[in-house]
Amino acid sequence: MKQFGLNLWGEENFVIEGDTVNVNYASRPSLLQLTKEIREKGYKGPLLLRFPHLIKKQIDTLFTTFAKAKKTFDYKGSFHAVFPLKVNQFPNFVQSLIEVSHEYHYGLEAGSKAELIIAMTKTPLGAPITVNGFKDKEMIALCFIAAKMGHNITVTIEGIGELKTIIEVNEEFNGSSKSPVVPKIGIRIRMHSAGIGIWAKSGGYSSKFGLTSTELLEAYELMTRYDLLSHFWMIHFHIGSQMGDIAPLKKALREAGNIYAELKRRGADALGAINIGGGLAVEYSQHTHTQERNYSLEEFANDVVFLMQEIAKSKGVEEPDIFTESGRYIAASHSVLVAPVLELFSSEYNAKCLRLKKENPPLIQELYDLYTTIERKHAREYLHDALDHMESLLTLFDLGYIDLEDRSNTEILVNLIIKKAIALLKDEGTDELKKLQDRIQERYLVNFSAFQSLPDFWGLSQHFPIMPLNHLSTKPTNPASIWDITCDSDGEISFNREIPLYLHDIDLTKEEYFIGFFLTGAYQEVLGMKHNLFTHPTEVVINFDENGDYHIEHLIEAQNLMDVLEDLDYDTGLIDKALKHKIEESTKITAEEKRELLGKIYLYLSENSYLKTIQALSEKEQGVHT
């Protein structure tokens, strides 16, 4: 894999320069340099780096692309966008999002009361807030409060029941008022055209959300009767996330556009906007044959604008304002998870680790000779001999004829022979070689939790781009599988010959090696789970000043052990007492040792669950062999 597919998924956000992958912006710091700087301050374990300039880039691109499409078609409606908070509600993210988007009146979308509170607090007055999802009376009351604060808020009703609640709340809030303040009303329509992919349930007839045509007519009548029609101004749909193909969107646009036009012709005069939800896809693939998206943002914007215009024209109604709620597209690229490699498992298959005896079993002696004399012209033959000898030696071990040291020597020698043979025969690329290569793949133990930091890998097999932060001028040769530090076998990104990942052969006793996981900014953080009680990694925001210099800011350290337990509602006071008591009451240790142990345990409790490097340990082990 050249450049780890950076040209496919990277959007020129990062660039390989010499040995390292650098931020392709301002002073272009390398990710390695940033990582080292943060680690030097004492923050070990995985790190989440946030780049607000990348959030800004996505927002700029979204708005300018739609502006261009509007210009091309001379479209009369305006364009607006909101960020759906469910995609990332973390304060460092939301704060950056608001800071970089001032000029666009970019707003927020909320799907729950807690998200609505964030939206009411963070959205600049005048920028749109949209509220989707199921709502009770209290949530609708919050929307009225937001409107009374002066917010430009649209509450989207997902069912007739919600409209009835709006009528009720309106009565309570505005009653006899001469100048009632009412949030704008949107209606989510239940599409006939189905949603797409694994999120198909978001759209389509079986969707949890939206009104059918019959319900729409009923809602129309209710709004007329209760004087709310003048507040009804938006049609909303959302067909699902990570839309790889543009076709379903076009279908949905036609359907929604015609519903918009029909309602306007019926007399919904205030109706003036169509909200196309999210779904804009992100390219996560590192390989050309597995690309996930078949359209560009230009095509997407042109389709939306063109189709809306066409329908408005043919039905003789105004062109609607267009709203999008793209979340993944805005947030995915802004963060990079950096995690240190703790161990390469096959480092034990090293010639240094051989424990050859004065007298070795003859087959082992032969393996050793194969290893030392293998050359290209007979590499394949030697390889077959080695595999054959290994089978015999393992049988001899099972039968009790050779000992554990012999078995260890067998494993090491056969591995070394396979590696040598593959190197010698590498331009042949036969199937047998590929299979062997899979067999000697290197397992990289990486200090992170896939459940916490890449939950969609675990839950949906979503691929995320992976690459090391340095050695990038050297061709990586180890077929790699990545193991996280949870005790769960699902926490493994195994080597896949269809989308192979090769990493470098590193001596971790001599240097550190970091893996970057990219495009982790959408959905992963809040979906991340505390499996094995690993928590959200330590995070930082990387801002650049006018001179192009970077600043590492807003560091939030991963939760410490006690905080994690407290989150599970353990009484940490009791835990604290129990630990202290058990040490103090122990009859196995002296008073001085007790004091020492207490000190240690308090230190550990103030730290997070991720592993400290285990390098020192392997160094000692190496000492034994050499």
Ligand X SMILES: *Cc1c(COP(=O)(O)O)cnc(C)c1O
The three-state secondary structure class of 140 is: helix
Number of residues that bind ligand X (CB under 6 A): 15
Q: Figure out which of the listed residues 154, 241, 437, 441 binds ligand X, where binding follows CB under 6 A.
A: 241
Residue range at the interface with ligand X (CB under 6 A); choices 30-38, 43-51, 273-281, 297-305: 273-281
Copy the structure tokens of residue 427: 């331009």
Q: Which CA distances in Å does 504 have to 285, 349, 372, 469, 507?
A: 21, 15, 24, 11, 10
Least distance to ligand X, CB of residue 284, Å: 13
Instruction: Give CA–CA dist 274/189, Å, rounded.
Output: 11
Smallest gap from Cβ 403 to ligand X, in A, equals: 59
Contact criterion met (CB below 8 Å) for 361 and 368:
no
Q: Residue 475 has what DSSP assignment?
A: -
Tokens of 626: 């050499």
The answer to whether residues 241 and 328 touch, using CB atoms and an 8 Å cutoff, is yes
Q: Least separation, in Å, of the C-beta of 455 and ligand X? A: 15
* Distance of closest approach, residue 106 Cβ to ligand X, in angstroms: 14
CA 228 to chain centroid, in Å, comes to: 41
Binding-site member from 101, 326, 447, 470 for ligand X (CB under 6 A): 326
- Which CB, 272 or 327, lies closer to ligand X? 327
Indicate which single residue of 39, 56, 86, 190 sits in contact with ligand X (rule: CB under 6 A): 86
Helices and strands (DSSP H and E) totals, the chain = 22, 20
**Between 424 and 463, how does the x/- string for binding to ligand X read (CB under 6 A)?**
----------------------------------------
Binding mask 105-134 for ligand X (x = CB under 6 A): ---------------------------x--
Of the pair 5, 84, the CB lying nearest ligand X is at 84
Candidate segments 94-102, 285-293, 309-317, 325-333, binder of ligand X by CB under 6 A: 325-333
Q: Binding segment for ligand X among 217-225, 275-283, 374-382, 399-407 (CB under 6 A)?
A: 275-283
Quote the CA–CA distance of 375 and 269 in Å, as a whole number. 83
Q: Determine the interface stretch with ligand X among 56-64, 177-185, 327-335, 510-518 (rule: CB under 6 A).
A: 327-335
Q: Is 159 in the site for ligand X (CB under 6 A)?
A: no
CB nearer to ligand X: give 115 or 325.
Answer: 325
Residue 520, interface with ligand X (CB under 6 A)? no
Contact window for ligand X (CB under 6 A) among 62-70, 146-154, 321-329, 455-463: 321-329
| Residue 529 to residue 535: CA distance in whole angstroms | 8
What does the per-residue mask of binding to ligand X show for 278-307, with x meaning CB under 6 A?
A: xxx---------------------------
| CA atoms of 626 and 298, how far apart (whole Å) | 61
Among 11, 158, 325, 343, binds ligand X (CB under 6 A): 325
Q: Which stretch binds ligand X (CB under 6 A): 3-11, 291-299, 326-334, 490-498?
A: 326-334
Q: What are the residues whose beta carbons fall under 8 Å from the beta carbon of 178, sequence distance 6 or more? A: none
Site string for ligand X, 343-372 (x = CB under 6 A): ------------------------------
DSSP 96-136: HHHHHTGGGT-EEEESSHHHHHHHHHHSPTTSEEEE-S---
d(CA 82, CA 34): 31
CB-closest chain residue to ligand X: 278
Nearer to ligand X, 260 or 300 (CB): 300
Among 29, 183, 327, 491, binds ligand X (CB under 6 A): 327
Q: Which is nearer to ligand X, 52 or 84 (CB)?
A: 84
**Binding region for ligand X (CB under 6 A) out of 276-284, 314-322, 346-354, 459-467:** 276-284
* 524 lies in the binding site for ligand X (CB under 6 A): no
Q: Examine residue 238 and tell whether it contacts ligand X (CB under 6 A).
A: yes
Window contacting ligand X (CB under 6 A); options: 6-14, 81-89, 373-381, 461-469: 81-89
Which alpha helices (DSSP H) does 403-449 contain, by range? 404-424, 431-439
13: tokens are: 């956000």
Q: Where are the alpha helices (DSSP H) in 316-403?
A: 328-331, 362-373, 379-398
- Our finding on whether 84 is near ligand X (CB under 6 A) is yes
Window of 89-97, 169-177, 319-327, 505-513 that interacts with ligand X by CB under 6 A: 319-327
For 255-302, the DSSP string reads HHHHHHHHHHHHT-TT--EEE----B-----SSGGG----S-HHHHHH
Q: Which helix (H) or strand (E) holds 617?
A: helix 615-625
- The rounded distance, in Å, linking the Cα atoms of 310 and 318 is 11
80 binds ligand X (CB under 6 A): no
User: CB-wise, 73 or 199, nearer to ligand X?
Assistant: 199
Structure tokens, 89? 């509600």
Using CB atoms within 10 Å of the CB of residue 306, give its burial: 0 to 12 exposed, 13 to 18 middle, 19+ buried: middle
Is the CB of 236 or the CB of 264 nearer to ligand X? 236
- Please identify, among the stretches 29-37, 80-88, 420-428, 469-477, the one whose residues bind ligand X according to the rule CB under 6 A: 80-88
Q: Using CB under 6 A, which residues numbered 538 to 597 contact ligand X?
A: none
Instruction: By CB under 6 A, tell whether 277 contacts ligand X.
Output: yes
Residue 162 binds ligand X, judged by CB under 6 A: no
Taking CB under 6 A as the rule, does residue 328 contact ligand X? Answer: yes
Handedness of CA 10, 11, 12, 13 (dihedral sign): negative
Please state, in angstroms and rounded to a whole number, the distance separating the CA atoms of residues 244 and 294.
Answer: 6
Using the minimum distance from each CB to ligand X, give the nearer residue, 194 or 424.
194
Contact 177, 205 (CB under 8 A): no
H-type helices in 374-403, by residue range?
Answer: 379-398
Q: 244 vs 500, which CB is nearer to ligand X?
A: 244
Interface of this chain with ligand X, residues 87 to 106, rule: CB under 6 A: 87
Chain position carrying tokens 């749109």: 128
In Å, how far are 76, 80, 464 from 309, measured between CA atoms?
A: 9, 16, 37
What's the DSSP call for residue 612? Answer: P
Residue 423 tokens read as 């190197």
- Interface ranges with ligand X (CB under 6 A): 84, 86-87, 132, 238, 241, 277-280, 325-329
